Amino acid sequence: MMCLSEEQQILRTSIKDFVKRYVVPGLNEIKNDRFPRDILRELGKNGFFNVMIPGFGVQDSYSYSLIVEELASASPSLAWLYVTHVAAAYALSRMGSEDQKSQYIEKMADGRLLATIAITEPASGATASAVQTKAEFDGKAWVINGSKTFITMASDADAFIIMARSDSEKPAFTDFILRSDDRGVSRSASLKGSGMPGIGWGEIFLENVETGQDRVLGNRNEGIKIIPTIAKVFTIGAASISLGIMDVLNANALEHIRERKINGSSLSSFQVVQDRYLHMYTNGQAASALIYRAAINDDIKLAYAAKVFATEKAIENAVTASRLFGANGYERSVGIASYIDDALAVPLHFINNDVLTGLFMNSV
């Protein structure tokens, strides 16, 4: 852990207390795929969304990473939702007009209004510039048609930031703020992931959705800029989810290899077990050093590197922990093997690791 300021120490204590008070009692429900709206609201009431919203709290990526890590070590799904909502609030606060900010940001900061960013489509996948949803301006209003898939909070978000193709001649995109109760917007939370339960994963359908210019986020035909705008929040957030997963796995694995005895010898006396744990420990330490440095220095190239490193290493640690726990860890109520499925989701989203390499090369 790098040096924490007095405020950051207080924040870390308060997020730990928050986890004990609000998250732990709700863990089983999240694991059973219930969307934790009540916990997200409490996160808002307690000021934890403010940390990355300009004008509300200190703009501090390190504090943000500490919150995400702490949430993820209790519930990777809750941390995933936290990052999703904070990224939407960050995009609105950076790209929104004064009217849009006054309409949305305060409600998002205190968790009354939940929002998500919906870019992915069945045919576009990891490539944002392949989005097919169309937005046509008829001189008075925009008419939007298309669909989004694999969307976090599809089930429960009150607002969606969507990206649509807005020029029939050239590949140009515009971002819009849509409301779940806008005419023509419908959704289905039908998707079930192998991991990350309770994130309200699903699809959004847009059928002749008519909106005014006041719903355009940022400049017309410059919608693709949302990706670099949210890159810091996405990458530090995703890396910190993976770090939280490593924290809990490493702590559990160490306890297990010390306590489990075979013929009177603890597992930790076997050299192969020592070697496996050494690698888990090193992965966790190296990931935290990268993430904290990226966050403290607001260094985007380090943030990209941290995202790729931490998300890949968390998968490695989840597989190794599963080995060290043996059948005990595979048993569902112990749940060690389920971290593999949670860890597998993180490289796929918050800028897919394989797409992120291009952004990384532009930043070095």
Ligand X SMILES: Cc1cc2nc3c(=O)[nH]c(=O)nc-3n(C[C@H](O)[C@H](O)[C@H](O)COP(=O)(O)OP(=O)(O)OC[C@H]3O[C@@H](n4cnc5c(N)ncnc54)[C@H](O)[C@@H]3O)c2cc1C
Binding interface with ligand X (CB under 6 A): 84, 116-120, 125-127, 150-152, 193, 196, 201, 345, 348-349, 352, 354-355
Lookup: tokens for 206: 């847009």
The three-class DSSP label of residue 337 is coil
Lookup: tokens for 363: 């930043």
Residue number with the smallest Cβ distance to ligand X? 125
Nearer to ligand X, 162 or 294 (CB): 162
Residue 184 backbone phi and psi in degrees, to 5 = 95, -10
Q: Closest distance between ligand X and the C-beta of residue 256, in Å?
A: 28
Tokens 């193709």 appear where? 165
Nearer to ligand X, 40 or 118 (CB): 118
Nearer to ligand X, 126 or 286 (CB): 126
Q: Closest distance between ligand X and the C-beta of residue 287, in Å?
A: 20
- What DSSP letter does each residue of 198-257 carry, written as one string? TS--EEEEEEEEEE-GGGEESSTT-GGGHHHHHHHHHHHHHHHHHHHHHHHHHHHHHHHH
Nearer to ligand X, 67 or 238 (CB): 238
Q: Is 4 left (phi over 0), alpha (psi -120 to 50) or beta?
A: beta
Q: Closest distance between ligand X and the C-beta of residue 7, in Å?
A: 30
No. of helices (H) and no. of strands (E), the chain: 11, 10
Nearer to ligand X, 117 or 314 (CB): 117
Q: Closest distance between ligand X and the C-beta of residue 173, in Å?
A: 13
Q: Closest distance between ligand X and the C-beta of residue 122, in Å?
A: 8
How far is it, in rounded angstroms, from Cα 315 to Cα 52? 27
Nearer to ligand X, 11 or 238 (CB): 238
Lookup: tokens for 12: 């870390």
Cβ count within 10 A of residue 52: 25
Q: Closest distance between ligand X and the C-beta of residue 318, in Å?
A: 16
